[in-house]
Amino acid sequence: MRYAGSFARDGEEARMSREALDALRTRVHDDPVLARRLAGIAPERFTGELVRCAAELRLDVTPADVEDGIAAGRQVWLMRWLR
Amino acid sequence: MAALNAAALREWTPIRVFGEARDLTVEWAVVERSFSDPFFEQTAGHAMQHPFNALFARRTPVAQLEALAGLSPGVAPTGFIFHMSRCGSTLIAQMLARLSDTIVLSEPQPFDALLRLRRLMDADEELAGWLRGLMSVLGRPRHAERRLFVKFHAWHVLELPFIARVFPHVPWIFVFREPRAVLRSQAREPGAEVVFGTIDPRLTGIDAAAAQALGPNAYAARVIAAFCDSALRCAALGRAAFVEHSSLPDAVFDSLLGFFGVGASEDEVRRMREIARADAKSGRTAFAAPNGERDPTGELDRLAAELLDPAYAALRATTSR
């Protein structure tokens, strides 16, 4: 599943957002306080708050990439029996 | 391999081990709630439903577990629970999970993954280091816990000599039950441990070709007999106790807590009695031997008499010593 409107985003803008998400992932993995803070966000508020948190860190992450990343992660978890 | 940053992994819990024998990966998640579900997989699955873990779950090489254990040690294991399947071991685990300050890991996948590799790797020392590391990391207190129990998969009793060598000072119990009841339950709803192909039949002493020729009930009976025989052979390894299903739940209060050196407060006893009144796996129906399971051909009775009754008698004899 892709976030509404994400098909329209292509090229440079999408690439930069994905790079920002990767950078955010590195920050989360390096910083247990940040990890704990983000893990404590209620699921229904997660995407919005994550995008805000990324902006505070000067990382331009879009809601579409967050949602795509969540969907991909859940898919990997569901498929774990098939490996 | 990147340098290990133990501090960065402080909030993370290993929830899964996967991959090939020499290229194993540990998957980590931030697990908010305590491990109090009937099975480890349920708590891990719940954690992975959170968008944070779906997005940020991380992976490390398994070899880092051992180093991490040294940098950030967890609670030493208080006790291990082995069992023949369908015999009340989940009830015991659920009761122990009602103790304050206690981690209970019920059939954790990461241990299963590592123990399955033992016969493939032929590298016990390396595997032992990973197991100790995994135990230590899973035992890290997240809510000021000071006790750790592990309920193993039924087939892990076949690896008890190895487990006892890796964790020589941990007392263990083996839970067993009248074999006809176990076979009826397995015939009605087979567990993975008695489905051909889920464990190496050679572990149970059954030749693979012969195992394929057995019917499902006969295969289940042979596997379960191997579990019981292994427990009996290991009786002298460390501190061991044998617990019969019919003695539950009272045996937990009368002997098991003392055996494990655990004192329970009135409130903890109340919580344990409460969970004992519910079915440990579903949480719905009362804990009691299932009724009405039939054996119209008499096959289960014959299999029990031939393969399991001698072990059952020997197990019962251990409880009366």
Does residue B8 fall inside a structural domain? no
Taking 50 as the threshold, does the pLDDT of residue B1 lie above it? no
Does residue B232 fall inside a structural domain? yes
- Of the candidates B12, B51, B58, the beta carbon closest to that of A70 is on B51
Contact B174, B109 (CB under 8 A): no
DSSP B288: S
What's the pLDDT tens digit per position in B159-182?
Answer: 999 999 999 999 999 999 999 999
Domain residues for the domain of B187 are 13-319
CB contact under 8 A, A40 and B49: no
Question: What pLDDT does residue B279 have?
Answer: 64
Contact B118, B211 (CB under 8 A): no
Does residue A60 fall inside a structural domain? yes
Per-residue pLDDT tens listing for chain A (83 residues): 444 444 445 666 677 777 899 999 999 999 999 999 999 999 999 999 999 999 999 999 999 999 999 999 999 888 887 65
Give every CB contact of residue B122 below 8 A, 6+ residues apart in sequence.
Answer: none
ipTM exceeding the 0.90 mark: no
| Strands B147-151 vs B58-61: parallel, antiparallel or unpaired | unpaired
- For residue B241, give how far its alpha carbon lies from the nearest alpha carbon of chain A (Å): 35
Interface residues of chain A, partner chain B, Cβ below 8 Å: 25, 28-32, 35-36, 38-41, 43, 46-47, 50, 66, 69-74, 77, 80, 83
Q: How far is CA B136 from the centre of its chain?
A: 16
Q: How far is CA B256 from the centre of its chain?
A: 16
pLDDT band at residue B194 under the 50/70/90 scheme: very high
What's the pLDDT tens digit per position in B234-257?
Answer: 999 999 999 999 999 999 999 999
CB contact under 8 A, A74 and B54: yes
Q: Please write down the HEC assignment for all residues of B55-78.
A: HHCEEEECCHHHHHHHHCCCCCCC
Taking 50 as the threshold, does the pLDDT of residue B145 lie above it? yes
In the structure encoding, which two tokens stand for residue B136, read together?
């230590």
Q: Which residues of B245-282 are buried (b: 16+ CB within 10 A; e: fewer)?
A: beebbebbeeebbebbebebeeebbebbeebbeebbee
DSSP B305: I
For B33, half-sphere exposure in the C-beta direction (CA atoms, 13 angstrom radius) is: 15
Q: DSSP per residue over B232-286, as a string?
A: HHTTTSSSEEEEEGGGTTHHIIIIIHHHTT----HHHHHHHHHHHTS-TTTSSSP
Q: DSSP per residue over B183-194, as a string?
A: HHHHHHS--GGG
For residue B24, give the CATH number of its domain: 3.40.50
Does residue B27 fall inside a structural domain? yes
Does residue A34 fall inside a structural domain? yes
For B297, half-sphere exposure in the C-beta direction (CA atoms, 13 angstrom radius) is: 6
Closest by Cα among B160, B157, B165 to B223: B157
Residue type, B81: I
CB contact under 8 A, B48 and A74: yes
On average, the pLDDT of chain B sits at 90
Cβ contacts (< 8 Å) between A62 and chain B: which residues? none
Does residue A1 fall inside a structural domain? no
Alpha-carbon distance of A76 to A68, in angstroms, equals 12
Domain residues for the domain of A53 are 6-82
Angle, CA B97 vertex, CA B91 and CA B101 arms, to 5°? 160
Does residue B5 fall inside a structural domain? no
Does residue B206 fall inside a structural domain? yes
The backbone torsions φ and ψ at residue B207, rounded to the nearest 5 degrees and listed phi first, read -65, 135
The total number of structural domains in chain A stands at 1
Q: How far is CA B97 from the centre of its chain?
A: 14
Taking 80 as the threshold, does the pLDDT of residue B190 lie above it? yes
The backbone torsions φ and ψ at residue A66, rounded to the nearest 5 degrees and listed phi first, read -65, -50
A-B C-beta contacts closer than 8 Å: 65
The total number of structural domains in chain B stands at 1
Alpha-carbon distance of B135 to B144, in angstroms, equals 17
- CB neighbours (10 Å) of residue B37? 19
Does residue B7 fall inside a structural domain? no
